[in-house]
């Protein structure tokens, strides 16, 4: 059973937008821009060959959907974040790389002091694009954040507040009238960001097991463009601090 795959290539995308309840011929009629010679070939196909095209298209669309879902889980943006080994009398500092660790996207730098006083510096411009300043707060963690919003060309303030949890870690991030939760389950190496509205998974970072007892290294994946990536970087900084009686 042989049929012209060039016909299917033309139809593949467009069939997905036409109701399955319509007849084969009616579906083809919808595609008015298709060359008339291709239409003639399609109408002349036997019933078995038409069914073969249907099967081919269905399988191809299923594979396409599967690949799309896999790609979405890989993230729209991916970064490797490596903590500096030496920090002196500062809070932890980090370098944010592309997935191949060849190009620096930004640096997370700290001022000297007892509490976190963080700046996110974009590379290669060296522009400051994010800030975090920890506040004295007993039992749970709290920090003020500020993120430079390129669309409005202004700094937008917010906060990170830890929610008490017996095991694991949970934070509320408030920024520009929105709330994001950041949660790490007990004994998990992965921390997940979710939008408080709809619980959409926005981003995650995972500690590489091989770096647990050395300078920490994380893989970050961002699944949505709804918020600036600096929010997730500052969230990582907050979660990385010394807490619960010991060093993370």
Dump pLDDT digits (tens) for 65-77: 443 344 444 568 9
Same domain, 99 and 216: yes
d(C-alpha 4, C-alpha 122), whole Å: 52
Same domain, 85 and 134: yes
pLDDT tens sequence across 49-58: 545 555 544 5
Last residue of some domain: 18, 48, 74?
A: 74
User: What is the mean pLDDT of the segment spanning 38-46?
Assistant: 52
Whole-number pLDDT of residue 213: 85
Domain range for 192:
77-240
Check: CB of residue 119 under 8 Å from CB of residue 233: no
Whole-number pLDDT of residue 55: 53
Last residue of some domain: 31, 50, 74?
A: 74
pLDDT tens sequence across 133-184: 999 888 899 999 999 988 889 999 999 999 988 888 999 999 999 999 999 9
Same domain, 63 and 158: no
Same domain, 46 and 99: no
Closest CA to 173 of 156, 155, 190, 161: 161
Does 196 or 138 have the greater pLDDT score?
196
Average predicted confidence (pLDDT) for the chain = 77
Residue 34 pLDDT > 70: no
């Amino acid at each position: 059973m042989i049929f012209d795959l060039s016909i299917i290539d033309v139809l593949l995308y467009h069939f997905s937008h036409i109701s399955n309840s319509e007849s084969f011929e009616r579906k083809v009629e919808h595609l008015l821009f298709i060359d008339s010679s291709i239409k003639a070939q399609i109408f002349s196909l036997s019933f078995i060959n038409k069914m073969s095209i249907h099967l081919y298209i269905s399988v191809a669309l299923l594979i396409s959907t599967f690949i799309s879902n896999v790609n979405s889980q890989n993230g729209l943006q991916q970064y490797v974040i490596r903590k500096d080994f030496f920090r002196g009398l500062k809070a932890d500092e980090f370098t944010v790389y592309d997935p191949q660790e060849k190009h620096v996207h930004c640096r997370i730098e700290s001022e000297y002091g007892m509490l976190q006083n963080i700046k996110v510096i974009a590379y290669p411009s060296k522009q400051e694009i994010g800030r975090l300043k920890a506040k004295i707060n007993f039992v749970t963690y709290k920090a003020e954040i500020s993120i430079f919003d390129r669309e409005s060309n202004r700094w937008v303030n917010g906060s990170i507040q830890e929610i008490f949890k017996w095991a694991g870690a949970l934070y509320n991030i408030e920024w520009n009238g929105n709330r994001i939760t950041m949660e790490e389950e007990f004994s998990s190496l992965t921390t997940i960001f979710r939008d408080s509205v709809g619980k959409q998974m926005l981003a995650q970072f995972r500690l590489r097991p091989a770096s647990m007892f050395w300078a920490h290294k994380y893989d970050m994946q961002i699944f949505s463009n709804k918020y600036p990536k600096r929010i997730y970087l500052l969230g990582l900084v907050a979660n990385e601090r010394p807490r619960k009686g010991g060093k993370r």
